[in-house]
C-alpha cells in the first residue's frame, strides 16, 4: 500500500448544512476520514487540516503555506499528496502549485466537490477515492485536478493543473480541460484509461525546489466590455502587472471610429504608458482557442505598444498566476520572453482541431 498525505483546506468537500440553513466549511480531517472509511483500505492515509475556509478567501499567502506543507510531507518520504479545497478557485490553486513546486518528485492531486459531503448526491466520495486510486495505480508526478467527468458516478477526470477551468456553478462535472484533454479517466470498476502518455513520472531522487509567490505583489485582472473607458484602467497605474481579458482573438477598444468613440484614443494612450512600467498580458474572453493579435490591425497596434500574449492559449486564470509567479521569481525584463515559454504545460504547442472552427 502506498502512503498518501491528504491536506485539507475546507470548502464544500469539508462542509455540511448548518442549523442556520447555509453550507459552511466545518469538517475536520478526522470527520472526512470517518465519512469515507473505505479510503483506509486503499492506502496508508495521513490526514491533517491546514485551514477550514471557502476558497474565495484564499490568497498568495495561502498558496505559499500549502507549498511549504507539501514539501514537509515529501520530506517524510510519502508517495503522493491529495489537497482538498473549495472548487471556486481550485484551478487558481492548481496553477499556482504547478509553477511553485519545481522538480516535483511525486503527484499532487487537488480534489473538491460541488455538493457538500453530507448530501446523498455529493460527488466528494468518488472524487477522493478516484484520486487515491490514481496515485496508487500510476507513476504520474505532476500537479493535477481530480473531479467528476460527468453528472453520473461513472468516472472522474484527471485534469492538467494549468489548463483547467470551472465551467459551471453547480454541475458535478463543472471542471474541464481548456484547449486540452483530460490526462486520464478513472473508472470505479474498469481502472484507469490514460489519454495522454507524455507526463512526468515519479522519481523520488528529484529535489523539490519551492519558488513561492510574493504576497506584496499587486496583479490586476481586468475584463474588457462595451462602454469600456479610461477610468476602467486608471486604478491599475500603481500595480506591478496587469492581465486584461480582451475580446475575440485579442482585441480592446483602442480605435476612434466615429464621434462616439473618442474615449478609445485615451484608452490606447493609457495602455501605452502602462506598458512602459509593467507587463500587460492579453487573454481572450473566449474559453477555447488562442490569441492572435496579427489578424486585425488593433491587435497589431497593441503589440506595437508592448502588450503581451500574442499566439498564446493561456486561460485568464493561469495567465494571472503565471504573471505573479514570474514577477516573484524573475526580473521584470525577463517576463516578455518567459510569458511565451511553456514552463508547466500551460501553453499548447498547437491548437487541436477540436478547438478550431470547421
Binning pLDDT at 50, 70 and 90, where does residue 40 land? confident
Whether 343 maps to a domain, the answer reads no
Condensed to tens digits (0 to 9), the pLDDT of residues 184-242 reads: 999 988 899 999 989 999 999 999 999 999 999 999 999 999 999 999 999 999 999 99
**pLDDT given at position 29:** 61
Catalytic site includes residue 353: no
- The answer to whether 236 and 222 are in contact (CB under 8 A) is yes
Note whether 174 and 36 are same-domain residues: yes
Of 210, 238, 271, which residue is a domain's last?
210
More confident residue, 140 or 25: 140
Domain that holds residue 9: 3-210
Note whether 206 and 284 are same-domain residues: no
Note whether 198 and 271 are same-domain residues: no
SS3 for the chain is CCEEEEEECCCHHHEEECCCCCEEECCCHHHHHHHCHHHHHCCEEEEEECCCCCHHHCCHHHHHHHHHHHHHHHHCCCCEEEEECCCCCHHHHHHHHHHHEECCCCCEEEECCCCCCCCCCCCHHHHHHHHHHHHHHCCECCEEEEEECCCCCCCEEEEECCCEEECCCCCCCCEEECCCCCCEEEECCCEEEECCCCCCECCCCCCCEECCCCCCCCEEEEECCCCCCHHHHHHHCCCCEEEEEEECCCECCCCCCCHHHCHHHHHHHHHHHHCCCCCEEEEECCCCCCCCCCCCHHHHHHHHCCCECCCCCCCHHHHHHHHHHHHHHCCHHHHHHHCCCCCCCCCCCCCCHHHCCC
Binning pLDDT at 50, 70 and 90, where does residue 249 land? very high
More confident residue, 119 or 76: 76
Q: Does the structure show a pLDDT above 60 at 15?
A: no
Whether 325 maps to a domain, the answer reads yes
**pLDDT given at position 296:** 95
Binning pLDDT at 50, 70 and 90, where does residue 123 land? confident
Number of domains in the chain: 2
Q: Which of 163, 166, 176, 322 does the annotation list as catalytic?
A: 166
Specify the CATH number for the domain of residue 150. 3.40.50.1170
The CA distance from 133 to 240, in Å, is: 42
Q: Please compute the mean of the pLDDT values over residues 250-277 and round it to a whole number.
A: 97
Of 187, 210, 233, which residue is a domain's last?
210
Note whether 166 and 189 are same-domain residues: yes
Q: pTM, whole model, 2 decimals? A: 0.93
194-227 burial string, b = 16+ CB within 10 Å, else e? eeeeebbebeeeeebeeebbeeeeebbbbebeee
Note whether 231 and 196 are same-domain residues: no
**pLDDT given at position 39:** 84
Whether 131 maps to a domain, the answer reads yes
Q: Please choose, from the candidates 137, 140, 124, 126, the residue with its C-alpha nearest in 3D space to the C-alpha of residue 43.
A: 137
Q: Which of 79, 84, 87, 316 does the annotation list as catalytic?
A: 87
Catalytic site includes residue 351: no
Note whether 60 and 87 are same-domain residues: yes
**pLDDT given at position 38:** 81
Catalytic site includes residue 123: no
**pLDDT given at position 271:** 98
Specify the CATH number for the domain of residue 281. 3.40.50.40
Q: What percent of the chain has pLDDT over 70?
A: 89
Q: Does the structure show a pLDDT above 50 at 358?
A: no
Kindly report the average pLDDT of the chain as a whole number. 92
Note whether 322 and 238 are same-domain residues: yes
Whether 280 maps to a domain, the answer reads yes
Whether 349 maps to a domain, the answer reads no
Dihedral sign computed on CA atoms, order 246, 250, 252, 258 = negative
Condensed to tens digits (0 to 9), the pLDDT of residues 274-312 reads: 999 999 999 999 999 999 999 999 999 999 999 999 999
Of 152, 183, 210, which residue is a domain's last?
210
Q: Does the structure show a pLDDT above 90 at 77?
A: yes
Note whether 186 and 243 are same-domain residues: no
Catalytic site includes residue 79: no
Note whether 8 and 137 are same-domain residues: yes
Whether 155 maps to a domain, the answer reads yes
Note whether 238 and 145 are same-domain residues: no
Q: Please compute the mean of the pLDDT values over residues 43-50 and round it to a whole number.
A: 92
Note whether 120 and 177 are same-domain residues: yes
Condensed to tens digits (0 to 9), the pLDDT of residues 130-145 reads: 999 999 999 999 999 9
Q: Does the structure show a pLDDT above 60 at 161?
A: yes
Amino acid at each position: 500500500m502506498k502512503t498518501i498525505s491528504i491536506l485539507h483546506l475546507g470548502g464544500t468537500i469539508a462542509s455540511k448544512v448548518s442549523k442556520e440553513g447555509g453550507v459552511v466549511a466545518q469538517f475536520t480531517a478526522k470527520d472526512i476520514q470517518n465519512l469515507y472509511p473505505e479510503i483506509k483500505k486503499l492506502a496508508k492515509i495521513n490526514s491533517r487540516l491546514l485551514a477550514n475556509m471557502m476558497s474565495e478567501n484564499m490568497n498568495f499567502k495561502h498558496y505559499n503555506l500549502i507549498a511549504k506543507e507539501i514539501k514537509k510531507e515529501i520530506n517524510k518520504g510519502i508517495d503522493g499528496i491529495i489537497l482538498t479545497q473549495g472548487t471556486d478557485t481550485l484551478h487558481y490553486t492548481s496553477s499556482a502549485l504547478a509553477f511553485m513546486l519545481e522538480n516535483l518528485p511525486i503527484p499532487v492531486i487537488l480534489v473538491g466537490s460541488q455538493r457538500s459531503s453530507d448530501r446523498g448526491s455529493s460527488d466528494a466520495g468518488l472524487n477522493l477515492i478516484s484520486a487515491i486510486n490514481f496515485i496508487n495505480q500510476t507513476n504520474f508526478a505532476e500537479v493535477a485536478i481530480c473531479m467528476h467527468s460527468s453528472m453520473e458516478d461513472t468516472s472522474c477526470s484527471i485534469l492538467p493543473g494549468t489548463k483547467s477551468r470551472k465551467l459551471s456553478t453547480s454541475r458535478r462535472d463543472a471542471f474541464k480541460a481548456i484547449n486540452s484533454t483530460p490526462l486520464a479517466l478513472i473508472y470505479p470498476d474498469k481502472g484507469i484509461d490514460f489519454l495522454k502518455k507524455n507526463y512526468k513520472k515519479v522519481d523520488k531522487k528529484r529535489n523539490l525546489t519551492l519558488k513561492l509567490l510574493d504576497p506584496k505583489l499587486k496583479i490586476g485582472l481586468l475584463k474588457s466590455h462595451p462602454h469600456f473607458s479610461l477610468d476602467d484602467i486608471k486604478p491599475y497605474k500603481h500595480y506591478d502587472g496587469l492581465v486584461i481579458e480582451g475580446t475575440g482573438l485579442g482585441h480592446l477598444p483602442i480605435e476612434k471610429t466615429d464621434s462616439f468613440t473618442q474615449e478609445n484614443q485615451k484608452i490606447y494612450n493609457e495602455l501605452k504608458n502602462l506598458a512602459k512600467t509593467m507587463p500587460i498580458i492579453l487573454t481572450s474572453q473566449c474559453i477555447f482557442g488562442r490569441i492572435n493579435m496579427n489578424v486585425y490591425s488593433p491587435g497589431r497596434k497593441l503589440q506595437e505598444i508592448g502588450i503581451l500574449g500574442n499566439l498564446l492559449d493561456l486561460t485568464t486564470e493561469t495567465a494571472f498566476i503565471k504573471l505573479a509567479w514570474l514577477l516573484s521569481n524573475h526580473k521584470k525584463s525577463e517576463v516578455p520572453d518567459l510569458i511565451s515559454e511553456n514552463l508547466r504545460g500551460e501553453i499548447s504547442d498547437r491548437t487541436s482541431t477540436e478547438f478550431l472552427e470547421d
